[in-house]
Structure 1
């Protein structure tokens, strides 16, 4: 079967980097870019290559956002953030080369397997928070924290953050690429202040996304309109320990002053909660999908795309 599909323009290249990167099958297709599994002929390693589609390259704002993602990720070197190896342009094709993770993203995992055990979820979130603490210390706010942008390695033991396409650099001269009236991010995981003004959000908005993702992973329900006082949501959260319910409540508080103040502070609380839970093993059997799984649908049409950006226009 050809690696091409109706959603991938036929003019996409078969190799890049003057033949260094041999592009194989498409492993992710978004509105503006395609992620290919590729072979690095120089390093003799499998990689992931993200290529901007031709119509995206013709849009100055989209091209700027694509290049900004590559530039931002190339500055971040952490075990829980996907690494960037190369950035380039060849015959009009903008691309960047990333490490390849083949364990799938967390949204796909939950859709396939159902909710996870609380202990496993907390271990995963601890890794995510370590990556966020590093990014925030470097002056980068992700702004699109959600399970789609958290990717397992092949063992499904290590999780890494990806898709910094709408990240905001806090230090220095902030590059403004968010147009007035646009909301960038994914509504179900978006902090209230980000919905109000996506151009001026801080690290605590990312922590809201971590809390909303935790809610999804441990309940199997989408966190859209997340409200812990809602009867249906309370029933779902009653399946998990009280200490974990409190953690989700703190992370997803409507007022920023009522949330955790830093990723490190939230990671410390995750560690504390873990110490109170049994069994202590990380890889206890996954919890089967519950009846609430019927309420869970992945936000976007293509769930395996780690480069996905949802653009919600405020009419």
Structure 2
């Protein structure tokens, strides 16, 4: 299946081109024979993963294959070949939002709203398939080269949709996370309590991620009316604070109830933030 459909790229010396090595797991750069697209092909030794985890990962990966959205990293193939679980995804170059914040500090409000809009569009597409991500966090937001569809910065894709928490064992029985698990500070209350979740849980996690991007810190514990404002958050425009606070309500019934309608609300907030930025710059030197 995989050797017939994909060709691993080679280095100048003829060796296979590795993108990443994580314990026993190796990711190669490859090209699809029929599509001609560049992909990332991950080879996971079956002996390194729990059978129950493997089955769940395959099921979630096949569900993610249904999603064809410009803001979700595509899953192309998953299956077993020669004692390995093979996982083929879209090849991407960029850096995570988490890494960007570590290097540069908090993002401008318009950039964060643009990220929020792109992720909400992705969640709307997923909701049409009754799918939830359950792992929206800065480490799973990839900032890509180039501009977003509206011409602004940044352009992002949501990584590892629905695939969080897969662990592998190395030869020395060291346990490594292959896909980042969900940090508690970005998980909704219902997710932390192992209650049923829907897209409103993802909206909470997106709100927590946006808070992090705006302030450089995870939100404090959410209260019924939303999180307490930190000094860095107080400096944000009120309409941005109100938007994110609504996403972070403890009760999912008090969060946005329609992903498409809420995407429009974020879009309106983005336009307002851009107008404010343009107005401020008009009085600059």
TM-score, normalising length: structure 2 = 0.77
TM-score, normalising length: structure 1 = 0.70
2:3 is equivalent to residue 17 of structure 1: yes
Q: Residues 209 and 226 (structure 1 numbering): CA distance in 2 closer, same or farther, change over 3 Å?
A: same
2:247 is equivalent to residue 251 of structure 1: yes
**Tell me, which stretches of 5 or more residues in structure 2 are unaligned?**
10-15, 148-153, 165-180, 279-285
SS at match of 1:223: coil
2:13 matched residue in structure 1: none
SS at match of 1:160: strand
Shift of 1:281: 7.7
**Tell me, which stretches of 5 or more residues in structure 1 are unaligned?**
1-15, 168-183, 283-315
2:91 matched residue in structure 1: 100
Shift of 1:272: 1.7
SS at match of 2:78: strand
2:238 is equivalent to residue 236 of structure 1: no
CA distance in 1, matches of 2:63, 2:138: 20
Q: Residues 258 and 135 (structure 1 numbering): CA distance in 2 closer, same or farther, change over 3 Å?
A: same
The answer to whether the Cα contact below 8 Å between 1:56 and 1:63 also exists between their aligned partners in 2 is no
Larger Rg: 2
CA distance in 1, matches of 2:126, 2:116: 15
SS at match of 1:20: strand
2:68 is equivalent to residue 77 of structure 1: yes
Shift of 1:166: 4.6
1:190 matched residue in structure 2: 187
The answer to whether the Cα contact below 8 Å between 1:189 and 1:224 also exists between their aligned partners in 2 is no
SS at match of 2:157: strand
Q: Residues 28 and 194 (structure 1 numbering): CA distance in 2 closer, same or farther, change over 3 Å?
A: farther
The answer to whether the Cα contact below 8 Å between 2:30 and 2:41 also exists between their aligned partners in 1 is no
- Higher RCO (Cα < 8 Å, 6 or more apart): 1
CA distance in 1, matches of 2:247, 2:77: 35
SS at match of 2:70: coil
CA distance in 2, matches of 1:202, 1:84: 21
Equivalent residue in structure 1 for 2:216, among 220, 244, 261:
220
Query: Relative to total residues, which structure has the larger helix share, 1 or 2?
Result: 2
Equivalent residue in structure 1 for 2:202, among 206, 209, 225:
206
Give the CA RMSD over aligned residues: 2.7
CA displacement, residues 213-235 of structure 1 (integer Å, 9 cap, x when unaligned)? 110111111235355553xx431
Equivalent residue in structure 2 for 1:149, among 132, 140, 155:
140
Q: Residues 188 and 53 (structure 1 numbering): CA distance in 2 closer, same or farther, change over 3 Å?
A: farther
Q: Residues 280 and 79 (structure 1 numbering): CA distance in 2 closer, same or farther, change over 3 Å?
A: farther
CA displacement, residues 272-313 of structure 1 (integer Å, 9 cap, x when unaligned)? 21222245789xxxxxxxxxxxxxxxxxxxxxxxxxxxxxxx
The answer to whether the Cα contact below 8 Å between 1:118 and 1:240 also exists between their aligned partners in 2 is yes
